[in-house]
Amino acid sequence: MKTFLDWSSYTDAGLGDAYADIPKSGGNFAKAVAVCINSRQCETLGKGVMCPSFRVTEDPHLSTGGRVKLLKQALNEAGVMDALLDPQLQQSMALCVACKGCKRECENAVDMTMIKTEYLAQQNTRNGISLRSRLLAHLPKLLQRYPTAIHRAVKWRNNSAILRKLGAALLGISAAHRLPEAHSATTQNLDYIDTAALSEQPTREVVLFVDTFTQHYAPENLHATVALLTRSGYQVTLLRPPQDNQQASTTLCCGRTYLSQGMVDHAKTEAQRLLDALKPHIEKNRPIIGLEPACVSAIRDDYLFLGLGDLAQTVAKKTFLFEEFLAKELTAKRFPGKFRPADDSEQVLIHGHCHEKAVGAMKSIRKVLKSIPNLKFEFVEASCCGMAGSFGIEKEHAQIAMEMAEQSLLPTIRSKPSATIIANGISCRQQIREGCERASLHLAAFLNTRLV
Ligand code: SF4
Ligand code: SF4
């Protein structure tokens, strides 16, 4: 069985362990599956993220370990490719929201998110790629080429019951959900942000990776980050493609949407372009900052499975979420900014994106918020919000996605009607808006309004 991802980091996994029960086919991929020790910790309903689909259904086939069992069975069959298309296995993998909860919380760090990417890539070779998957995967490119058309089409669709039904019938997009509306074409070109003019006596150079979703759907977070960092004395460079790159005019994207649909070759192309653009900054030891947790986790985690060499390893170590960067600067006493104290009545609720939790970034948010005098804040104890990229708008998944959100996140938010909500993931903000009509802010936007 030829695999699409580079599983070489699992070469020694389970070797010499009589109980590892490594499946016959799949090589190192099979070893990555077999690291599960069947402790069934992923079938508990306590704190943390793992495993959202089990928590909602309490079906053992929809836990991390349940997926492992089904995959092992398939990888032990003589006709592996047919076995991988077993309907129960397909359904079990389809309901994995790729939250990375297991990678952090499972005692043996089963990485079902990457296993799912490999699984989808294998599935695509046999079943082809659906129109919906293609549209979702190519969305960053479509947004770049046709921003105005997409802006208008989504607006029409959101405001027309007939178009919503048509979208559900033809594309499998849930008619019950509003789709996020990208900003119109005027905000698409990053040249309108002159970071050099904003910086006064900059003390430290940083590079900001502007992901597709921030650029097109939430440019206010980009503006807030640039304003906050430049006003605090940092020289901010917005990452651009190298001028000698054949596609220099095409904006950069991490490739997350391709990874989510199992389109590994496309993801590799995007990843390589991004690494090429980052290389000169890495050589100058500039920290790389990203705002969207799913994009930063693609660069830090997923690129290591794409066989992209040493540069990918170095970039992974130098790339930080905004909150991680700020927390590091505060710890090193390099962040000169001061924040306005909070009023006694102010309440702040924070919902962490699963990939933020997977990289342990919640402690950075705590550190940053503690630098605001008198601020009372609390973290929502919740698993995945259910939106998980495009999962929550897919017709067949929309209900279970909302059930995930209703387990804890939405009731907690409703119980605090006057609280400010911080959610750094764009899909989390969308799910919160859909589920309880409340707006939420990226941490950068929240902080920027308080900088004195
Ligand atoms: S996936 Fe992890 S938590 Fe679940 S049974 Fe296997 S080892 Fe235990
Ligand atoms: S990635 Fe998330 S949904 Fe998928 S198996 Fe792991 S914990 Fe469950």
Q: If you measure from the C-alpha of residue 189 to the centroid of ligand 1, how many angstroms do you get, rounded to a whole number?
A: 45
Q: In this structure, is residue 2 part of a structural domain?
A: no
Of 328, 355, 377, which residue is a domain's last? 328
Q: Which structural domain, as residue segments, surrounds residue 222?
A: 189-328
Indicate which CATH number applies to the domain containing 438.
3.40.50
CA nearest ligand 2 atom 5, residue: 64
User: What residues line ligand 1, using a CB cutoff of 6 Å?
Assistant: 36-42, 64-65, 68, 102, 106-108, 110
d(CA 274, CA 165) in angstroms, rounded, equals: 38
Q: In this structure, is residue 247 part of a structural domain?
A: yes
Nearest CA to 420 among 435, 434, 430, 432?
A: 432
Nearest CA to 73 among 145, 11, 140, 24?
A: 24
d(CA 440, CA 421) in angstroms, rounded, equals: 5
Mean pLDDT along residues 223-237: 94
Span 386-442, pLDDT tens digits: 999 999 999 999 999 999 999 999 999 999 999 999 999 999 999 999 999 999 999
Of 302, 328, 354, which residue is a domain's last? 328
Q: In this structure, is residue 430 part of a structural domain?
A: yes
d(CA 340, CA 371) in angstroms, rounded, equals: 10
**CA atoms lying within 13 Å on the CB side of residue 341:** 4
Tell me: do 311 and 213 sit in the same domain. Answer: yes
d(CA 241, CA 239) in angstroms, rounded, equals: 7
Predicted pLDDT at 203 = 74
Mean pLDDT along residues 277-294: 97
pLDDT at residue 245 tops 70 = no
Mean pLDDT along residues 339-347: 95
Ligand 2 pocket mutation, candidates 35, 40, 53, criterion most atoms within 8 A of CB: 53
Tell me: do 200 and 316 sit in the same domain. Answer: yes
Run of H or E including 73: helix 64-76
Tell me: do 116 and 140 sit in the same domain. Answer: no
Average pLDDT, the chain: 94
pTM for the structure as a whole: 0.94
Tell me: do 213 and 324 sit in the same domain. Answer: yes
Indicate which CATH number applies to the domain containing 46.
1.10.1060
Tell me: do 194 and 144 sit in the same domain. Answer: no
d(CA 83, CA 73) in angstroms, rounded, equals: 8
Predicted pLDDT at 188 = 54
Of 143, 165, 181, which residue is a domain's last? 181
Q: In this structure, is residue 420 part of a structural domain?
A: yes
Three-state SS for 261-293 is CCCHHHHHHHHHHHHHHHHHHHHCCCCEEECCH
Span 366-393, pLDDT tens digits: 999 999 999 999 999 999 999 999 999 9
CA nearest ligand 1 atom 7, residue: 36
pLDDT, greater one: 231 or 18 = 231
Mean pLDDT along residues 166-177: 96
Mean pLDDT along residues 10-32: 90
Span 78-131, pLDDT tens digits: 999 999 999 999 999 999 999 999 999 999 999 999 999 999 999 999 999 999
Q: In this structure, is residue 3 part of a structural domain?
A: no
Provide, for the chain, the percentages of residues in helix, strand and coil under a 3-state DSSP scheme, each rounded to the nearest 5: 55, 5, 40
pLDDT at residue 192 tops 80 = no
Mean pLDDT along residues 233-238: 93
Total domain count, the chain? 4
d(CA 237, CA 226) in angstroms, rounded, equals: 9
Predicted pLDDT at 242 = 77
Distance of CA 240 to the CA centre of its chain: 21
Tell me: do 342 and 437 sit in the same domain. Answer: yes
Q: If you measure from the C-alpha of residue 46 to the centroid of ligand 1, how many angstroms do you get, rounded to a whole number?
A: 15
pLDDT at residue 306 tops 90 = yes
